[in-house]
Amino acid sequence: MKTLLALVVGAILATAGTGAAAATSVLFIGNSFLFGSGSAVRLYRAETVTDLNGEGNGGVPALFKSFTQQAGLDYDVSLETRGGSGLDFHLANKLDVIGKRGWDTVVMHGFSLLDADKPRDPAKLVATSKQMADVLRAKNPGVTLFLMATWARADHVYPAKGTWTGQPVEVMARDVRAAYDQAAAAAKVKTVIPVGEAWTRAMQTGVADPNPYDGIDAGKLNLWTFDHYHASTHGYYLEALVIFGSVTGRDPRSLGDRECSAYELGLSRTEVKALQQVAFDQLASAGAVTAAAPAPAPAAQTPAATARCGH
């Protein structure tokens, strides 16, 4: 009898230990390009993530959280963001917040023009990426770091006084990516998340319109919001897909065209399928993901169906 009791207690303890495994912590450091300014994404499911600044933002981190839940992954997601800032702001003002714990994974990016004071100059991004990486590794030497290369800003490509005026929109995205490659080398960060390049791919393949100033072609998406600077809901959705694939190694298409967050944000299945394909193609071109079997679709795309996705 004692032997049987010991076995039962042991089994209970073993089960409890398995269930107590900690979720992978991930922190997003950035600005409005992460918290979703200009779209419904900004306040989307803010209760599912932790805004370390207490501003109530959900943003792209909440989309990432939703995707991971639907994929059966366990991530504890936080964000530390401030509009119009680069990593220099976070280093000067937010290290007390960022340094409260050692993070397992961190996704971070700088100012959209590389340097607010010296647009196109990568020096500040390179220096501050290394400084932030050093801070994060001091708290957890095993932290996995990602730098995110942001998208081209239409408002700095098409108007007469833009920083990249007169050049094709893909040139800005390419220049930004080159700067992030320099920053990654300096900070010894293995992966640069190719969000800007995914936007370019969406335009080059006819999924998205490259110039919002001359109208949006029929059947194409506008990845920018009303200011031609920040992203639209579609643009942030593509950003989140690329981050999801980069961080988890999962094929974004495995979420399926009935993916729950897209339904809640008003994206059509056709749009979702196209954006997931763009994200996959961009990531696969760099060997970041491999093709996976498509996710089985729910019987109907209804509020009840979305409840089954962990929301």
Q: What is the pLDDT of residues 178-227, one digit of tens each?
A: 999 999 999 999 999 999 999 999 999 999 999 999 999 999 999 999 99
pLDDT at 297 over 90: no
pLDDT above 90 for 10:
no
pLDDT for res 12: 43
- Quick check: 15 pLDDT over 50? no
Is the pLDDT at 271 greater than 70? The verdict is: yes
Nearest-angstrom CA–CA distance, 302 and 304: 5
Q: How far is CA 107 from CA 76, 81, 209, 246, 277, in A?
A: 13, 11, 28, 10, 22
pLDDT of residue 257: 97
Q: Which pLDDT belongs to residue 294? A: 60
Rounded Cα distance between 144 and 65, Å, is 17
**Does 9 reside within a domain?**
no
Q: State residue 20's pLDDT score.
A: 54
* In-domain check, residue 96: yes
Mean pLDDT of the chain: 91
The domain total for the chain is 1
Q: What is residue 302's predicted lDDT score, i.e. its pLDDT? A: 46
Residue 8 belongs to a domain: no
Checking if the pLDDT of 19 tops 80, the result is no
Residue 304 confidence (pLDDT) above 70: no
Share of the chain above pLDDT 90, in %: 86
Q: Is 85 part of a structural domain of the chain? A: yes
Does 291 reside within a domain? yes
pLDDT of residue 203: 98
Does residue 16 register a pLDDT over 90?
A: no
Residue 10 inside a domain? The answer is: no
Q: What is the pLDDT of residues 24-39, one digit of tens each?
A: 999 999 999 999 999 9
- Reported confidence tier of residue 295, pLDDT bands at 50, 70, 90: low
Quickly state the pLDDT bin for 143 (edges 50, 70, 90): very high
Give a yes or no: residue 12 inside a domain: no
Domain range enclosing 211: 23-307
Instruction: Report the pLDDT averaged over residues 107-132.
Output: 98
184, part of any domain: yes
Residue 152: the pLDDT is 98
Backbone angles phi, psi at 276, to 5 degrees: -65, -40
Q: Are 267 and 236 spatial neighbours (Cβ–Cβ below 8 Å)? A: no
CATH number at residue 95: 3.40.50.1110
